[in-house]
Amino acid sequence: MREQIREAQGRLREAAASADYARARRALEDLRVAFEEAVGSPEADEDALAEALREIEQARRLILAARTHDAARLARMKKPPAEYGNVGAASPSIRLEA
């Protein structure tokens, strides 16, 4: 139980730090499952559970901050980044005539 929580915490920490949201979501789900199993276990370790809760909150804040930073950076761009492929400027769907 405790080992599953620690492994999921490590994966969540790494994914959040690298802004890999899909991997963070999977790690968070693994951590949730391990946490629920631990809570229902007769040998539940309160210190480990409290640590897991702190880790979840820290990862949540890190992911939210990274996503906010990325959204602000994208909003300031005048053209799509090269990683988006060969995307040209889109023509407007509505044209106004004077």
Q: Quickly list DSSP for 49-66.
A: HHHHHHHHHHHHHHHHHH
- H helices within the chain, ranges in order? 2-17, 21-40, 46-76
Domain positions in the chain are 2-80
Per-residue pLDDT at 35: 79
pLDDT tens digits for 21-74?
788 888 888 888 887 887 777 777 787 778 778 877 877 787 788 788 888 888
Residue carrying structure tokens 């899909």: 22
First to last CA, the chain: 69
Whether residue 98 is predicted with pLDDT greater than 60 in this model: the reply is no
Please tell me the pTM assigned to this model.
Answer: 0.54
15 vs 24: CA distance, rounded Å: 5
46 vs 54: CA distance, rounded Å: 12
